[in-house]
Structure 1
Amino acid sequence: MNRVEAIIFAASEPVGRETLARIVGKSCSIDLLIDDIREELRGRPYDLVAVAGGWKHLTRPAYADAIRAAVGGAEKATDLTQSEVLVLMCIAYFQPITRGELSSFFGKEISRDLIGHLRGAGLIASGPRSPTPGAPYTYVTTKEFLLEFGLDTLRELPDFEALEDAGLLSKEKLLTGDIVPDLATHEE
C-alpha cells in the first residue's frame, strides 16, 4: 500500500493501473489498495482521485482559497472565452467532429484561431480523418482536458439531456445562435 501511494505521490501525471500492477503484482487488487489508501486519507486536506485514466493526489476543493492565498495563482490555468467553452463542449460530447460539423451545429463558421487556441491549450487534438469527401481533420479531447476538468473518463461528463432538463443548457438556443458569440472572428 505504501509503495502504491509513494508512486502516485511522486508522479507528475496520473498513474495508471498497468504501472501500479508492475509494482505490486498482477494478482494484487489495485482497487482494494486504492480504497484502503483513500480510507487512510479521510480527513486529510488531499485525496487520491481517479482522473484521466489513472490516480493522482489532489488537494480537496475546500482548501482552494487557502492555497491561492498562500501561493497565489489564477483560478484556472486555462482561461477560455465563452466561444471556446461552447466549442469545447461540443467537441467533448460529439467527438470525433470536424470543424465543418461544428460550424453546421452552430450555424456560424468556427474560426481556425479558435480551434488553434484550444489545441495550443492542449485541450483538443486531431482525431482520425473523417471518411467524408476531402477527409477533413476531426477533433477530440485530450488527457489534458480530462485533467483540467477533473474527469477520469468522458463518461463522467454531465448527461446532455439532464443539463437541458435542469435549464442549464438549451440545444435550441445553441442552434439559433441566441447564446453563441461570433465564432468566426473568435470574439466575445
Structure 2
Amino acid sequence: MSADAARAASPFPSAPENAAHAVRTPALRLLEAMLFAAGEPLDEATLASRLPEGADLRALLAELSADYAPRGVNLVRVAGKWMLRTAPDLGFLLARDKPEPRRLSRAALETLAIIAYHQPTTRAEIEEIRGVSTSKGTLDVLLESGWVRMRGRRRSPGRPVTYGTTELFLVHFGLDAIGDLPGLEELRGTGLIDARVSAGLTVPLPNDDTTLKDDEDPLEPEFNLSFAPEPETDEDTEE
C-alpha cells in the first residue's frame, strides 16, 4: 500500500489537517500542564503567579474551558478554584474503577444538609431542626470525611462547638460557592421537598464565610478536635 493510500485509510487526521487544533500558545500550554498535574483545585492567584508576565489568565481559562467542553475531561470551577474533572456524562462509566465510597446514613445526610444551610450551627441546633437526637458517631463521620469542620464555640452556656462546611465539601459536590446549593423551589422541583409543604417553609441562604460570627469564640489552641464526653448512642433516637 502506498503512503498516500495508507494516509487515506487512516481513521486519524493527518498532521497538517490537525495542526490548527494542536496550536497552543506557551502560556496556554503551561496553564493546561499546571491544571493537569495538580492534585487539587488551583486558585487564580496561584495560576497567575506561574504564567508568563502579561498573560491574560481569564482569557486563557475561557479558551481552555471552551476547548475542553466537548471532551471527556472538562475544566470546571469549584470552590472558587479551577480543576480538570471527568465529564459528568461519563462519570458512571468510570465509577467501577474507583474505590467504593463510604455511604452516608440518612442521619448523616440530614445532618450534613442542616450544617450546609444553617452554618454556623451547634449539635443542639441540629437536633432541634431534625427533631431527633444526633449521635456522636454521626458528626464524627462527617468530620472524618473532611466535608465538615469545627469553626469555634458559641457564646452561650456550655460554650458548644459550632460546625460549618469545608472547601472539600464544595469540591466533592461540584459547587463553585456555597450559594450554589439549591433553593426551596429547586428542592421542590427535584421532589426532595413535598410541593404540599406549608407555604411558610423557608430555606435559609447558606453562608460559609470563615470569619467567626459575633456570637462565636475561636477554638482553644489545644483543642484536640474531639467531642466533650456525651452519652453514646448507636443510632439517632426519637425525642
1:128 alignment partner in structure 2: 152
Identity of aligned residues (%): 31
1:137 alignment partner in structure 2: 161
Distance 2:67 2:172 in 1: 26
Distance 2:71 2:191 in 1: 36
Equivalent of residue 103 in structure 2, options 69, 72, 79: 79
2:187 alignment partner in structure 1: 163
Deviations 1:112-168 (A, max 9, x none): 111011111111110121122222110111122112211121011111354246642
In structure 2, give the amino acid aligned to 1:54: K
- Could you tell me the TM-score, scaled by structure 2's length? 0.66
- Could you tell me the TM-score, scaled by structure 1's length? 0.82
Larger Rg: 2
Tell me if structure 2 keeps the 8 A contact 1:78–1:121.
no
Q: Please give the residue correspondences for 1:94-113 in structure 2 after superposition, counting only pairs within 5 Å.
A: 94-113=118-137
Distance 2:56 2:143 in 1: 37
For 1:39, what is the secondary structure of its paired residue? helix
Structure (1/2) with the larger helix percentage: 1
> More displaced, 88-97 or 35-44?
35-44
Is 1:88 the counterpart of 2:112 in the alignment? yes
Which structure has more relative contact order (CA 8 Å, sep 6+)? It is: 1
How many angstroms does 1:185 deviate by? 3.9
Runs of at least 4 residues of structure 1 off by over 6 A? none
Is 1:186 the counterpart of 2:231 in the alignment? no
Question: Unpaired runs of 5+ in structure 2?
Answer: 1-27, 202-232
Aligned CA distance change for structure 1 residues 72 and 143 (closer, same or farther; 3 Å): closer
2:75 alignment partner in structure 1: 48
In structure 2, give the amino acid aligned to 1:38: S
How many angstroms does 1:55 deviate by? 0.7
Equivalent of residue 41 in structure 2, options 6, 14, 35: 14
1:23 alignment partner in structure 2: 50
> More displaced, 10-19 or 153-162?
153-162
Question: Unpaired runs of 5+ in structure 1?
Answer: 176-183
Equivalent of residue 149 in structure 1, options 148, 173, 198: 173
In structure 2, give the amino acid aligned to 1:49: V
RMSD: 2.4
For 1:129, what is the secondary structure of its paired residue? strand
Number of aligned residue pairs: 175
How many angstroms does 1:31 deviate by? 2.3
Aligned CA distance change for structure 1 residues 13 and 108 (closer, same or farther; 3 Å): same
Distance 1:110 1:138 in 2: 14
1:178 alignment partner in structure 2: none
How many angstroms does 1:72 deviate by? 5.1
